[in-house]
Every structure is written in C-alpha cells, then in structure tokens.
Structure 1
Amino acid sequence: MTAATRRHPGKTPRESLPRLGPRPLPLHLAMACTTWTSSSAGLTLLKNGWPLSNPNNPASGNPENGQALGIETLLSQIEGLEGDDFNKALTQEVSARLRALLDGIQSYRSHPYRRDLEDPPSAWQEGSARLLDFGLAKHRSKRPGAKSKPAVLVVPSLINRSYVLDLSEKRSLCRWLAGQGFRPFLMDWGAPNGTEQRFGLSDYTCGYLERALDHVLSVTAGRPPVLLGYCMGGLLTLALAQRRAEDVSGLALLATPWDFHAGENALPDGQLAAVSSSCLPLASRLGYLPVDTLQSLFALLDPMAVTRKFVGFSKLDPDSQSAREFVAVEDWINDGVPLAAPVAGECLEGWYRRNLTARGEWEIDGEKVRPEHLDLPCLAIVPAQDRIVPPGSALALCKALRSVELLRPRSGHVGMVVGQQAREDTWQPLAAWLSALAT
C-alpha cells in the first residue's frame, strides 16, 4: 500500500505527486478506442448484410408495433454516400474524439488546483479511523438565543474518502451544516491497514462506528445525535440505528441502496457471478480489494461515462470555476481506498449477488437488519439521476421503512452533495428536516 493510499483527507497532495486518474486509465482508454474504432468495422458489416439488417430479426424492430427498423433506416441514410468520403469523415471523427479525450485527461492531470482545506479537529481516533468534529471549527454559528440544534454523526462509504462531504470551502456539506448551528461529526474511515484488512461490516459497525457514537454522546451530554449515512454509509447507519435506537434521534439516508437487483443498471446474475469469482480470490490473497479493481467494477455500470466526462472537460477553460470544481471531484474519485477482503465478500456476494438486504437476510453481528422494525424519524434523499445507486434500489428502502420522508433532488450520486444545485436541492431541505427534529 503506498503512502498516497494511506493519506488522510485534508492533507494537501504534494506538487510532485502525479495524478493517477482517471483510474484505471488503461481500461478507459481501451474502452474508448474499441468503441470508436469499431465504427469502421461495423459499417462494413452493415453494408455486407450483417444479420441484424434482416427485417425478420427482432433486433431490427417490429413495424407492426410502430417501431422503426433502425438498421434499415441507417442503411438508407448512408446508401447514397460515396464510400471513400464517408470513410474519411468517419476516421476524422474518431480521431477528433480520441484527441479530445486525451486533451481532457492531460488538462486534468496538469491542472494547478490542489485541495488545501485544513481538517477540523479530530475528536476521536482508533486504528485508521478518526472522527472529525466540525462543531469545534471556527465557522460554527452560535446565534444568541438560538435553540440548540442536534449533533449529526455523518457516515460515508468505506470505498471512497470522506472528504467528499468537506470538499472545499464552498462545497462542504459538513461546514455548511456547522454554519447553520448544527454540530457535524464526520467519520473518516481511512484505509484498512494491518488487522483492519480482516474486518467485516460487523467490525466496522459494532466496533469503530459504535465507539464513535459513544464519543458523540459523551460530548453532547447524552443528547442523541442524528445519524446521516451516505451511500454504503447509509447501510451502516441503518444497522447502527437498529442496534442503538435509544441513542439516536433520527436517521437521514443519502443515496442508500437496498434492493441491489432493482433498476435498469442492475448487473445480470451471470456478470455478478463472474465478478465475484474473479475479485474475491484476489481480495483474499492480498487482504484487500485494490482501488483500481473497484473502479473497474464501477465502470461496468456505464462503460463510457468517464470518456464522456473528459471529452467534455477538454472544452472547458482551465481557469474557470467549473474546471476547478471538476478537478476537485475527480481528485476525490481517484483518491479511493481499498476494501478489506471480508467486506468485499459481503458486498459483492452478499449484497450485489444474493441481494440479502432486500430479502431481509442481511445480518450485522448475527442480527438481521430489518428497516421495518425501526421506530425513528427517517429522511431518504434519492437523487433522480443516480447511476451508482439506481433510484429503484434506494426507493425499495423507503418502502421498507416504517415511516420516512422522501426527497428527490434532480441530481446524480455525487452531484447531490457537491454539485452546483446541491445547496438548494439537498443541503437546505436536509437542514430543514434536522431543525424540525429539534422542535
């Protein structure tokens, strides 16, 4: 594990440390090249009567149902074109797209932006995990006569760094909540090291997370905090809330999956089986699932997403605020952490393949996690354009909860917390819900 892997969030990356993203670069370049350069081969196949051009092939469409014959329509459009001119135009377009992709990657890697935000004080630490106390930060608002607002224990995913929730001065959910009078505590998991590589989800939940909750209770005179879980962190806070319901005043779930077989982007069982059979032996051998392997798995959800992003970035002015924000998010995405081998098994095999959560069979420390038994005020924020956690997966959790308020921002998985509309669409409604708990 490199020093960069162990780096805590909030530390400014050294100027000499090159950017690694988009990770894994060979995979993204290979997918882009294969997709675009296959156009010439595809054109030849079409002109030579590729089977899909057969009107009797179901893939060509059903004219009786009013569906256009896509292949025949395409053939009719290119039929009158001169072969050499069209092939030249096609080659030029492929070359232009590849140049734009490479320009975007180079522009990103050479961009001068570096995150230099100082972390708030660490209130508790054990192993690689620490608890950042934004209530002790200088920006916390304490308005005279204002009613005391609850502490919020914020729990991110184990896969990505916690600082997406404290990305920059203007894009920090935790600092903004502190400015509204709340006292956020951000759980920073760090990277699994030593014995932590043998941790499962129960170790993280019943160990580090419960002891972090105990610390929050100790500094708030026993006043129960609200739990706020983001993505995978939402599942951990759900389990914690069930175990420690008397010590929790509410549960907010941001883009939290539940039914891993729901949604258009759900991977078929055969693909999930192939992922498990290839990744889990690797994790067992190393003690962890490497970051680049995790990034490759995310690429399965939308193979050309990274390519589209960097082609778009190539068109931005590097000095613009939009470019800086793009680089900030990409630095976070590519600054991931490996996943402890037992956790990788529970996630890939237990969640994604066997769907134990939606089946009511997922267990933490031998106890089934059953959201329908939870008697707490709950808020679920389900972004409409999420590709990482399909809305159908998160909405299944809403249906399982006994009582929940639902919010549907018009953003994606990451944009919901750091995007341009995050404050209006996510932060402010979240703060309003938290404030209502204090009344």
Structure 2
Amino acid sequence: MEKAEPVALAGALQAEGLRRFDQLLSGVEKYRHAPKSRNVADAPVLWREGTTRLLDYRTQQDPRAPRLLVIPSLVNRYYILDLEPDASFLRWTAAQGFAPFVMDWGSPGAEERGFGFTDYVAGRLERALDAVQREPGGPIFVIGYCMGGNLALALSLRRQAEIAGLILLATPWDFHAEAKEHSLMLAEIGRGLEPVLQLFGELPVDILQCFFSGFDPFQVLRKFQNFAGADPASPGAKKFVALEDWLNDGMAVSAAVARECLTGWYGENTPARGAWKVAGAPVLPQQFQQPALCLIPAGDRIVPPKSALALADALPKGERILPSAGHIGMMAGSKALPLVWEPMKAWIGR
C-alpha cells in the first residue's frame, strides 16, 4: 500500500471534515424548522405546591388497582414518560389497570431556589405521597427514574411501612465505580461554579446541558448528521424531534441540590459511602426491607451500569434486570415495552 503524500492526505482530511460539518449544520437546520411533534394533552392535576404538581394519569378509579407514584429527575421534564400517545409509559400503565401518578417538578421558583434534598423529599414528596394515599386503590409502589430514583429511595426509607415496593430505573449510586476521573472533574467544575450559584440561587439549565453533553461529546455530531438524511415524515424523524424538544426543555436546579450532586455525589461519592443525608439521616439502602427492582440499562452512558449495580447490591431484597438499552431508550425507545415496561408490570403483579 502506497503512502499518501502529506499534502494529499491533509486535503482529504479537510474535505471529509467539511463534509461532516456540513451534515451537522444541515441536521441542526432541519431540526430547527421541523414541526413540533408532541401532541399529548396534559393529565389532570391532583395536588400542587409551589411549582410542583402531581399529575393523575388514571383512566378509572379501581379500589384494587396498584397505585404508582412515579418520580422523575429534578433536571429533566417528566414527559419523557409521556412523550407521544404511542410512546407513553404513564398512559400504558393506566391501560394495564394501574393507577399512575407522576411528579411534575417544574422549574424552581422563588421558594424552590432555597430548596435542598430535604425540602424535596421530606416536604414535597411526602405530601405528594399523602395525596396518593387519599385516593382509592391498592398497594403503593414508588418508581424513580435517574436522579428521581435517589429521591424515591430516600422517600421510601422514610415511609417504607406504607410502600409495597420500590422500582429504580437507571439510578446512580456509586459515582466512583466507573470513570472516577470524570466524576472528580465534574466536581471540580461544580466548585468553580460557586459564583454562579450564589448569584442566581440555582444552576442554570444551559450549564446543565453542557454537563450532559460531556458524557458523550460526539453524540451531538452523530445524531444530527444522521438526522440530516432522514425523511422528515418518517416515524423515526418525528421521534427524533420529540426527543430533542424534550432534551432542550430541561430545568434549572436549586443551588443546594447542585452543590450536593456535583461536589457531594460526584466528588465525594456520598451515596455509596453512606454520607448522603436527608432530614439529618443518612440514606442507607441496606435499611430498606421491602421488595425492590432495579432496571439497569446495559448501554447507559449517563449512569454507568456499575454505579447503578452498586445500589442493587445494597438493597436487601433487591432484584435486577439489565435491559439492552440506553438511558433514554429504556423508557422511550422502540424496545422499552418488551424490555422494561412489561417486566415491571410482571414484577408488580407477582
């Protein structure tokens, strides 16, 4: 094989770089002009406090139906669980005979900017659980997604006598189990953001987006390059637009929560060390005596599987399923139903 001349090689690399950059720009421009694809009506509000709402996805009031309190992350909108009529975990569970309720955190208002995890768990979540308990239905299961799983665990420990089971979806726990250097880097960046936290009382959503893109820096390039050649009318293109709209509709988090997540969780690994506290008490999964199910997507780039597996190992009655999916795909992808939703239904119904 002949060696390429340096000048010719440099020209070929430049041409390929320009071609890919043009694909990226074409994909971004195509997305900017794409019609909004999500056409789903909001569920009724059962309870609200401040910017927090508890949405009621029931289609009937059955006194035997298992009640599901679903807790999403504080940084992403809940509607990844209700993305489209044919891709809605919440509406599917209602159709299966469950009584689903979901927390809609909303962006922090004046009151929530002063919140820490204690305010969210021992305050908002406990009162939302009270609202669910007042509704007719069967046993209560708490379901947490991503950071929402950490909140779900903390709530369930405080109220475990009232909860039939806990389901944790892609929930991080040991932040140093994989890519420890990356976690420590995020912690250092978090410390450097202290002036921003003090000025705004929150971590702005645009900075959070930078954190998420850092987990897979080339994903943005790949996905928009692929979208550039997609048929805009195809189901795949419409799903892409719906997911991108959701990703771009994130929320800021309060300064106290940002500090605990970045310097506490990522930097000091407080959850795995038993040092993360809510209302003065450490959140210890070893003390949760009810059944628990951990669904840990094998292809997760946001929550490394070993991080989530550490939580499954710590739960005395913890079971685990490792679906072949990614962090978002596990709940909104084409294989979510057989790989995640159906196994959850079977586990609850045992």
* TM-score interval (norm. to shorter): over 0.9
1:299 corresponds to 2:213 = yes
- 8 Å CA contact 2:203–2:253 kept in 1: the answer is yes
Tell me, in whole angstroms, the C-alpha distance in 2 between the residues paired with 1:379 and 1:315.
40
Determine the structure 2 residue equivalent to 1:203.
119
1:266–1:175 distance in 2 versus 1, CA, 3 Å? farther
Tell me, in whole angstroms, the C-alpha distance in 1 between the residues paired with 2:111 and 2:253.
13
Tell me, in whole angstroms, the C-alpha distance in 1 between the residues paired with 2:118 and 2:214.
28
SS, match of residue 316 in structure 1: coil
- 8 Å CA contact 2:187–2:262 kept in 1: the answer is no
Query: Post-superposition shift, 1:148?
Result: 2.7
Determine the structure 2 residue equivalent to 1:230.
145
- Code of the residue aligned with 2:210 in structure 1: it is S
Tell me, in whole angstroms, the C-alpha distance in 1 between the residues paired with 2:6 and 2:133.
73
SS, match of residue 134 in structure 2: helix
1:259 corresponds to 2:174 = yes
Determine the structure 2 residue equivalent to 1:417.
331
1:266–1:274 distance in 2 versus 1, CA, 3 Å? closer
- Alpha-carbon deviations, 1:31-79, whole Å to 9, x = none? xxxxxxxxxxxxxxxxxxxxxxxxxxxxxxxxxxxxxxxxxxxxxx7x6
Determine the structure 2 residue equivalent to 1:334.
248
1:173–1:99 distance in 2 versus 1, CA, 3 Å? same
Query: Post-superposition shift, 1:285?
Result: 1.3
TM-score (norm 1): 0.77
1:97 corresponds to 2:20 = yes
SS, match of residue 222 in structure 2: helix
Task: Compare CA radii of gyration and give the structure with the larger one.
Answer: 1
What stretches of structure 1 of length at least 5 have no aligned partner?
1-76
SS, match of residue 396 in structure 1: helix
Query: Post-superposition shift, 1:303?
Result: 1.3
Tell me, in whole angstroms, the C-alpha distance in 2 between the residues paired with 1:349 and 1:273.
5
Correspondence for 1:382 among 284, 289, 296: 296
Determine the structure 2 residue equivalent to 1:193.
109
- 8 Å CA contact 2:55–2:101 kept in 1: the answer is yes
Query: Post-superposition shift, 1:337?
Result: 0.5
Mapping for residues 142-221 of structure 1, pairs under 5 Å:
148-220=64-136
Query: Post-superposition shift, 1:273?
Result: 4.1
Query: Post-superposition shift, 1:286?
Result: 0.7
- 8 Å CA contact 2:67–2:99 kept in 1: the answer is yes
- 8 Å CA contact 1:141–1:178 kept in 2: the answer is no
Tell me, in whole angstroms, the C-alpha distance in 2 between the residues paired with 1:416 and 1:107.
26
Mapping for residues 4-403 of structure 1, pairs under 5 Å:
80-135=3-58, 137=59, 148-220=64-136, 223-264=138-179, 267=182, 269=184, 271-403=185-317
- 8 Å CA contact 1:197–1:341 kept in 2: the answer is yes
Query: Post-superposition shift, 1:246?
Result: 1.2
Aligned length: 350
- 8 Å CA contact 2:81–2:89 kept in 1: the answer is yes
TM-score (norm 2): 0.96
Please, what is the CA RMSD of the aligned residues? 1.6
SS, match of residue 36 in structure 2: coil
Tell me, in whole angstroms, the C-alpha distance in 2 between the residues paired with 1:160 and 1:279.
20
- Code of the residue aligned with 1:404 in structure 2: it is G
1:157–1:101 distance in 2 versus 1, CA, 3 Å? same
Query: Post-superposition shift, 1:224?
Result: 4.1
Tell me, in whole angstroms, the C-alpha distance in 1 between the residues paired with 2:147 and 2:23.
34
- 8 Å CA contact 1:416–1:422 kept in 2: the answer is yes
- 8 Å CA contact 2:292–2:318 kept in 1: the answer is yes
Name which of structure 1's ranges 271-280 and 200-209 shifts more when overlaid on structure 2.
Answer: 271-280
SS, match of residue 252 in structure 1: strand
Tell me, in whole angstroms, the C-alpha distance in 2 between the residues paired with 1:273 and 1:233.
20
SS, match of residue 410 in structure 1: coil
Q: % of aligned pairs identical?
A: 47
SS, match of residue 358 in structure 1: helix
- Alpha-carbon deviations, 1:133-152, whole Å to 9, x = none? 111x4xx597xxxx933100
- Code of the residue aligned with 2:276 in structure 1: it is W
Tell me, in whole angstroms, the C-alpha distance in 1 between the residues paired with 2:127 and 2:250.
24
